[in-house]
Structure 1
Amino acid sequence: MGNLLVGGKSIPTDDEGYLVNFADWTKEVAEVIAKEEGIENLTDRHWLVIEFMQKEFKEHGSGPSIRKLTKESGVSTKELYELFPKGPAKKAAKIAGIKKPVGCV
């Protein structure tokens, strides 16, 4: 277990840095996690993916697979890797405040 410090508040994370409680997520939390993941600025395209990830999580209890993400979010695989280098589904899930998608190692 770890903690993420955002605006003077300590937010619990698991050993891989994913939020323990989705209710702790805010846009400020997302921006802090993004910076830790090497993404300096979240653009409208980042937010499109983040919001899609959260919608899937709320509806199904887990984040979408990379395949579903590319088919239904309106963002191509190539763009996903540009937006979230080195593991877009895992990185987008972490920034979105949800659990690591099933099947991601």
Structure 2
Amino acid sequence: MKKIFWNKKYALKIAKKEKIKIKKIHWKIIFFTRNFYLKFHIIPSIRILLTAINKTYKKKLNSVDLINLFPKNPAIKISKIAGIPNPKKCI
């Protein structure tokens, strides 16, 4: 099996397949999630993700906002685009 190295080009390709047009806030969420996973070897919970994004970027995002940004199943789509494993529990 061919190993794929993650980069922004790869992320954009996956996002396009998922019919997500990546904007600045998407990148913030994707990079936070990816960096969190690479540092702690676990996927951040939605609560941790929202708390960190809201605190770091002075945003007021909630779980509905995540669903609007990453439709149907945000946790799985964020993980897929970030090039990390799918979370065990999803909203």
Which TM class, normalised by the smaller chain length? Answer: 0.7 to 0.9
Higher percent of residues as helix:
2
Deviations 1:29-48 (A, max 9, x none): 00010011111x21000001
* RMSD of aligned Cα (Å): 2.0
- TM-score under structure 1 length normalisation: 0.71
1:48-67 superposed matches below 5 A: 48-67=28-47
Q: TM-score, normalised by structure 2?
A: 0.81
Partner of 2:10: 29
Helix, strand or coil for the counterpart of 1:73? helix
Query: Whose relative contact order is higher, 1 or 2, with alpha carbons under 8 Å and at least 6 apart?
Result: 2
Q: CA deviation at 1:76?
A: 2.1
Which blocks of at least 5 consecutive residues in structure 1 are unaligned? 2-10, 13-20
Structure 2 residues without counterparts, runs of 5 or longer: 55-60
Q: From the two aligned structures, give the one with the greater strand fraction.
A: 1
Aligned length: 85
Identity, in percent, stands at 39
Could you list the runs of 4 or more consecutive aligned residues of structure 1 that deviate by over 2 angstroms after TM superposition? none
The 2-side partners of 1:101 and 1:56 are apart by 13
Structure 1 residue 90 and structure 2 residue 82: aligned? no
Q: Distance in 2 between matches of 1:102 and 1:58?
A: 16
